[in-house]
Amino acid sequence: MPEKQDRLDRLLRKLAGSPVPSRSDRERAETQLMELIEGEPNIRRSRVRRPLIAWTAAALIAALTLIVVFYPGSTSPAAAAIREIADLAEQVDPLEATDESFVYTRSETQVLGVIPREGLGGVPYDAEYLVYEAHMIRESWLGNYDTVQVSVMVLQPSFFSDEDAEAYYAAGIDGQDRVGETITSTVHQPDDRTWPTDPNDLDAAIRDDMITDRGLPEPVEYLLVALDIVRESHASPELRAATLRLIGDLDGLNLENIDPDGISTISIDYEEQTISKTLTFSIDTSGYLRFEEVVRIDEDTTFRIPAGSAESLSTWDEPRTTTNLNTQG
């Protein structure tokens, strides 16, 4: 895809200008950094990780089943299951990083990628858009300074037709996508520090973070923000529980399944720009998100996406601690 600035880009840059730091801004920042540098030997601090409470899967499933069956009649099975998970998740001691260990999370994701025809560098292609499924494995290591190392291994994509595959490789999109590479960075910070755990405050914070004018139903927008909070292992048990309870209050949730490990699968149907979709997610008994998928029910003739295709699909392994910072793949 050509990296060429268009008129919108130039207008944005013109409007934003190039503000420069004042001398006092620079001196203050430099002083703070030098103080940190000089104090580095004293920075490292130890944390004592409390042991995990050993829950047995059988007991949890039994508890979930009882709650689902006996919860008051006005509560949906999905809401009952989520609230019970919230109660359990609140009592689980959190995984915590130490000076020697990291909280490790691994996920596998596929997501639809779209390349406009003009982005194919002149490679002959009949349709307006080339759509493909990108695949990646993402690993994160949460350290004890609230920092995260993230590695993304970009796997070979899959295609809806041979023509799509030929155009993709002929245009060198695999190189742009860095297929076959593992990209490691440390730019992602956990953000649970900024989320309140008081239900009313958290509800307000989630609503403030929602996008409300792109045509998605409110419960879906709410859910997207809430799932961001519980997506990986960074949220505290209190925050995880509070978030799940708010999710349980949403309208339109359907309980699809509770598997033998106590993982509950919930779905919600909605429509986005005339395309019917289903968002499905699974929560384990510690309140961790383990599966999330958006399926497009209808065929999308604009982008030539077959009916029933997953717009995005992710699975997460159970988070654990590790001393190994090398990618597991």
Partner 1 sequence: MASEVHSDRSDAEIIAASLDHPTEFGIIFARHHARVYTYAARRIGIGEAGDVASEVFLKAFRLRYRYDHTRPNSLPWLFGIAQNTIGDGLRSIRRRQRVYLYFHRDVSAPGTELADDRLVAEAVTDRLNAELGKLSKGDRDALLLFALEGLTYSEIGVTLGIPTGTVGSRISRARRKIGQAIPDLEQIAARMHNPDEVDDA
CA 261 remoteness from chain centre: 22
Under rule CB under 8 A, residue 209 binds partner 1: yes
Q: Residue from 40, 100, 126, 162 that binds partner 1 (CB under 8 A)? A: 40
Under rule CB under 8 A, residue 158 binds partner 1: no
Contact residues for 91 (Cβ-Cβ < 8 A; gap 6+): 53, 237
Under rule CB under 8 A, residue 19 binds partner 1: yes
Q: Residue from 92, 123, 165, 188 that binds partner 1 (CB under 8 A)? A: 188
Please give the radius of gyration of the chain, using alpha carbons only, rounded to the nearest integer. 23
Contacts with partner 1: how many residues (CB under 8 A)? 70
DSSP string computed for 179-246: TT-EEEEEEE---GGGS--SHHHHHHHHHHH---SSS--HHHHHHHHHHHHHSSTTS-HHHHHHHHHH
Q: Residue from 91, 156, 161, 189 that binds partner 1 (CB under 8 A)? A: 189
Give residues 109-138 in contact with partner 1 (rule: CB under 8 A): 111, 113-116, 119, 134, 136
Under rule CB under 8 A, residue 46 binds partner 1: no
**Minimal distance, residue 208 CB to partner 1, in Å:** 4
Residue 54 or 187 with smaller CB distance to partner 1: 187
Contact residues for 138 (Cβ-Cβ < 8 A; gap 6+): 106, 107, 108, 109, 150, 151, 152, 153
Q: Residue from 137, 205, 227, 310 that binds partner 1 (CB under 8 A)? A: 205
**Minimal distance, residue 191 CB to partner 1, in Å:** 6
Amino acid of residue 311: E
**How many residues can be counted in the chain?**
329
Under rule CB under 8 A, residue 29 binds partner 1: yes
Residue 176: phi, psi to the nearest 5? Answer: -65, -40
Under rule CB under 8 A, residue 227 binds partner 1: no
Residues linked to residue 138 through DSSP beta bridges, in sequence order: 107, 152
Residues in contact with partner 1 by the rule CB under 8 A: 1, 3, 5-22, 25-26, 28-30, 32-34, 36-37, 40, 43, 111, 113-116, 119, 134, 136, 143, 145, 147, 149-150, 152, 154, 173, 175-179, 183-189, 191, 193-194, 205, 208-209, 211, 213-214, 325
